A and B are shown apart, each in its own frame.
Chain A
Amino acid sequence: MTYARRSKSEIARRVAQDIPDGAYINLGVGMPTQVSNFLPPDREIVLHSENGILGMGPNAASGTEDMDLINAGKEPVTLLPGASLFHHADSFMMIRGRHLDISVLGAYQVSTAGDLANWSTGEPGAIPAVGGAMDLAAGAKRIWVIMDLLTKDGRSKIVETCTYPLTGVRCVSRVYGDLATLEFTPDGPRVVDQVEELSHSDLEQLLGIRLLRAAADS
């Protein structure tokens, strides 16, 4: 089967469309950060950075960098009018205490039950690092994952049981992928949308799992 995958910026744009006006959100380091480039200008969306910022603005322009004002990826950023600053325990109180509406994260694997694996491939000799991923997985009201749905060698990253170490249990509510957007329901993953060239059964075959049909089809 031939099909065109969604590009990283198309996926980021797709995620941004779904973030409602007034939402408090945290964008993970790397690919999820790109979502900030596509936030609709007519919505007020407040970006949280776990190192103690609400109301984070764009990255600092060259020549205006202040290394006391960095994001979670340690890049110099700016503050928007209405921003606030706070210490680490308060920042994670916002996360753990279920105050944050959406956390957008990358992942290695997501299980059909919504388990998330995104912090370690478990390789011997690798230096483990977890950062705030487990806090976000356990604490944010909704966890949205951005990832390609297949590995480079064609294996599905949506699996019955994660083989990589877990970040959180039954926490993922959506996956925004290159082939489809999936909603994780108590009955399993449901297709929200998919690239045009793929049929429902094509997608099931590629991912190796059963998928509930998009609401419009049922």
Chain B
Amino acid sequence: MIDKVADSIEAALGNVADGSVVLLSGFGDAGMAHRLIEGLVAQGARDLTVVCNNAGAGETGLAALLKAGRVRKMICSFPRTATSYVFDGLYRAGRVELELVPQGTLAERIRAAGAGIGGFFSRTTFGTPLAEGKEVRVIDGENFVFERPLHGDLALIGADRADRWGNVVYRKAARNFGPVMACAATRTIVSVNEIVPLGALDPEHVMTPGIFVDQVVHVPRALNVPGALQ
């Protein structure tokens, strides 16, 4: 019998090794697994590399992980936001590294890792500072820059519904990075607003098939917001 539903966030996270690469879904707050990230703060893993489109807001979720000094390096496209002051301070103090990756390249590098592809050539960044040090190849007369896959040890995904096989449905634009990140990590944990019986999800509508998911945790939507438990 397959039952990927974990009883608690602690049970789902289990042991996260120091030095892990952690993929965090979400664009702003939409699609972020806030409770799972706070679980990671409590769990205590250090020296993490975090892959996320943004670099945290306020002092909860990813910002709390950064503030606790657990993150060695951020890989993101848009770290600077109106309330990213925790990241901003750490970056200016030289206490966190930043690898800046264009948003589409970030998504495709993650997708490549999940698809078992050893990298790809993209027109994006050619002739810009973000192409420095990377292989350039002329393909059919156009310049392309080589990009490597980006694999995670752990992915923490925020979604809407799942069954015990780990089939997942996302809600509206909260889907964003979830489907690609779920495929690209050694261990993928998804928090969902609702766990439904096997067979309740229309197979035509499953967005992340259960093969990509290791554990599912029930977090009601009202609690999956920044700082809900504080």
Contacts of A131 in B (CB 8 A): 77-78, 102-103
A135 touches B102 (CB 8 A): yes
**What's the dominant secondary structure at chain A's contact region?**
loop
**Which residues of A does B touch, CB under 8 Å?**
49-53, 66-70, 74, 85-89, 91-92, 95-96, 115, 120, 125, 127-135, 137-139, 165-169
**Which residues of B does A touch, CB under 8 Å?**
27-31, 77-81, 84, 87-88, 91-92, 98, 100-105, 107-108, 110-111, 122-130, 170-180, 207
Closest CB in chain B relative to A164 CB, distance in Å: 10
B103 touches A89 (CB 8 A): no
9 A–B contact pairs at CB < 8 A?
A51-B27, A51-B173, A89-B108, A89-B110, A89-B180, A96-B104, A128-B98, A132-B104, A139-B124
Contacts of A133 in B (CB 8 A): 102
Contacts A88-B180, A132-B77 given; does A138 touch B125 at CB 8 Å? yes
Residue of A nearest to B84 (CB): A127
Partner of A88, one of B78, B87, B128, B176: B176
Closest CB in chain B relative to A53 CB, distance in Å: 6
Known contacts A70-B28, A127-B84, A131-B77; 18 further A-B pairs (Cβ under 8 A): A49-B173, A51-B176, A52-B27, A68-B172, A68-B173, A69-B172, A87-B170, A92-B103, A115-B127, A125-B92, A128-B79, A129-B78, A129-B80, A130-B78, A130-B103, A134-B125, A165-B128, A168-B128
B123 touches A87 (CB 8 A): no
B123 touches A138 (CB 8 A): yes
B111 touches A134 (CB 8 A): no
Residue of A nearest to B158 (CB): A68
A68 touches B104 (CB 8 A): no
**Distance, CA A127 to CA B174, complexed state (A):** 26
